[in-house]
Structure 1
C-alpha cells in the first residue's frame, strides 16, 4: 500500500481553505464573468472586481464552494443573459428585476433545477417562455411581469407543485390559460393581467384553495366565470375587468366580505370592501414606466 504524503494532506487542506474563503469552481466563475460581460458590467450601479473572490461581489451568495444566489435588483444591467447561466446548477435565487435586460431567456435556464426564486420583472426580455420550465421543480416564485414575452403559457407550469407566486402580467402572451395551473395547490398569487389571453378561464382554477390574488384583467377572456370560483375561500384580490365574459353569475354566490379588491365589468356586483391601506403596488397596476420604483 502506498503511503499518503504530507504534500497530499496539504493540498486537500488548501482546497478546503479555498472553498471556505468563497472561491467557486472555474466553470461557475466563468458563468458569472459571462453574466458580467454580457450585461455591461463596467456600467452597473455597483460593479464587480473580477480579481477579488466571487463571494465578495455584489449580490453573489456562495455556499460550500457553489454559487447559490444572484441578486442584482435595479443595478443597471443591460444586454442579454448568457447561455452559460445554466451552468450555475446550485443556484436557488436569481433576482435581476428592474434592469434593462433584453434578448430572450437562455434555453439552458431550465437546467437550474434547484432554483426557488426567479425574478426578472421590469426588463425588456422577449420571446417565449421555455416549454421545459416544468423541469425547475423547486420553483416557488416565477415573476416576469412587464417584459415583452410572447407565445403561450407553457402547460408544464402545472408541474411546479411548490409554486406560490406566478406573475406574467403586462407581456404579449397569447393562447389560453392552461388547465394545468389548477395543479398548483400551494399557489397564492396568479397575475396574468394585460396580455392577449383568450378562451374561458379553466374550471381547475377552483382547485387553488390557497389563492389570495387572482388578476386576469385586460385580456380577451370570454365565456362564463367558472362556478368553481366559489371554492376560492382564501381569495382577497380578484380583478377580471376589461375582458369579454358572457356571464358573471358564478360571482354572485361568493362572500363579498372576503375581498380587499374586487373589480369586474358587472356593475351590479358592488360588495362592501374592508377598509385597508395597500402599501405595495398591486400586480395589475404595475406599469413598465415605473423605472424608479424601489424594492
Structure 2
C-alpha cells in the first residue's frame, strides 16, 4: 500500500513537471505578448508568477506552446514579432479584440500552425507573403480588419486550406490564379473588399467549395457558368459587383441576391433569367 502511494505521488509530480517545464524561450514570447497587448487590462489576466500551465488560453504539450486562444479578451496594442518563435504553435486565435498594427511579416515561420484567427480587430497593412509557407494551415480568418494590399500570389501553395475568410477589409487587386487550385477549400469569403478583374473559369477546380462570397467588390466580366459544376456549393453571393452578360437560371437562383449588380452608371441592376441561358436579360430597378 505504501509503495502504491509513493508511485502515485511520483506520477503526479512527473505529470506536473511536464506541464510546468515550459521552455524558457516559449515563456519569454508569452510574456512579450502579454506586455505588448496590455495584459493588465485583459478580461482574463495571466499571473506571471504562476506556472504557465495555469495561464488562460494557453495549451502546452511537451513543454512547448501549441495553442493560444485569447478571443474576446480585451487585448490592445500590437502583436509582437517575437510570436513567430513559437515553433510548435498550432493555433493562434486572437478573435474580437482591439489589436492594431500589422501582422508580423515573418508569421510564415509558424510552420506548424493549423488555425489562424485574427478577425474582428484593427489590423492594417498587407497580408504577409510568408503566410504561403504555412503549409499545414487549414483555416485563415482575418475578416473585419483594415487589411490592404493584394492577396499573396502564391496562396495556392496552401493545399490543406479549408477556410479562407477575409471579408470586410480593404484588399485590392485580382484574385491570384493559384487560389483556384486549392481543392480543399470549403469556405471562401472575400466580400466587401476592393477586388477587381474577372472571376476565372478555373473556379471549377475548387470542388469542395460550399460557401462562396464575392459580394460588394469591383469584379467585372461574364459570370463563369463553371460555377454550376461545383456540386457541393450550398451558398453563394457574388452580387454588387460589375459582372455582366448572360446567366443561367441555376446560377441566378443559387446567388443569395439573384445576381444584383452595379452598372456603369452606378445603379443596381439585376440579371433576370426567364428561361435558359440565352433568354437572360438585364433590367434596372
Deviation at 1:206, TM superposition (A): 1.4
Structure 2 unaligned segments of length 5 or more: list them: 1-10, 261-269, 276-285
What residue number does 2:249 align with?
252
What residue number does 1:134 align with?
132
Mapped partners of 1:88, 1:270: distance in 2: 57
> Could you say what secondary structure the match of 2:202 adopts?
helix
What residue number does 1:215 align with?
213
* Aligned partner (choices 252, 259, 265) of residue 264 of structure 1: 259
What residue number does 1:193 align with?
191
Structure with greater proportional strand content: 2
What residue number does 1:239 align with?
237
8 Å CA contact 1:115–1:136 kept in 2: the answer is yes
What residue number does 2:73 align with?
75
Structure 1 unaligned segments of length 5 or more: list them: 1-12, 272-295
What residue number does 1:85 align with?
83
* Aligned partner (choices 101, 104, 117) of residue 115 of structure 2: 117
Deviations 1:72-95 (A, max 9, x none): 010000000000000001000100
- Cα distance, 1:77–1:255 mapped onto 2, change above 3 Å: same
Length-normalised TM-score, structure 1: 0.82
What residue number does 2:180 align with?
182
Deviation at 1:248, TM superposition (A): 4.2
Mapped partners of 1:227, 1:211: distance in 2: 15
What residue number does 1:44 align with?
42
- Cα distance, 1:48–1:244 mapped onto 2, change above 3 Å: same
Deviations 1:196-247 (A, max 9, x none): 1000012221111110111001000000111321211111111011110122
Mapped partners of 2:152, 2:234: distance in 1: 26
Deviations 1:4-35 (A, max 9, x none): xxxxxxxxx9x976751333111111110010
Q: Give the greater-gyration-radius structure (CA).
A: 2
* Aligned partner (choices 150, 159, 164) of residue 148 of structure 2: 150
Length-normalised TM-score, structure 2: 0.84
- Cα distance, 1:270–1:237 mapped onto 2, change above 3 Å: farther
What residue number does 1:205 align with?
203
8 Å CA contact 1:178–1:202 kept in 2: the answer is no
Deviation at 1:70, TM superposition (A): 0.3
Deviation at 1:268, TM superposition (A): 1.9
Mapped partners of 2:161, 2:102: distance in 1: 23
Mapped partners of 1:224, 1:267: distance in 2: 11
Mapped partners of 1:35, 1:230: distance in 2: 46
Deviation at 1:255, TM superposition (A): 9.2
What residue number does 1:6 align with?
none
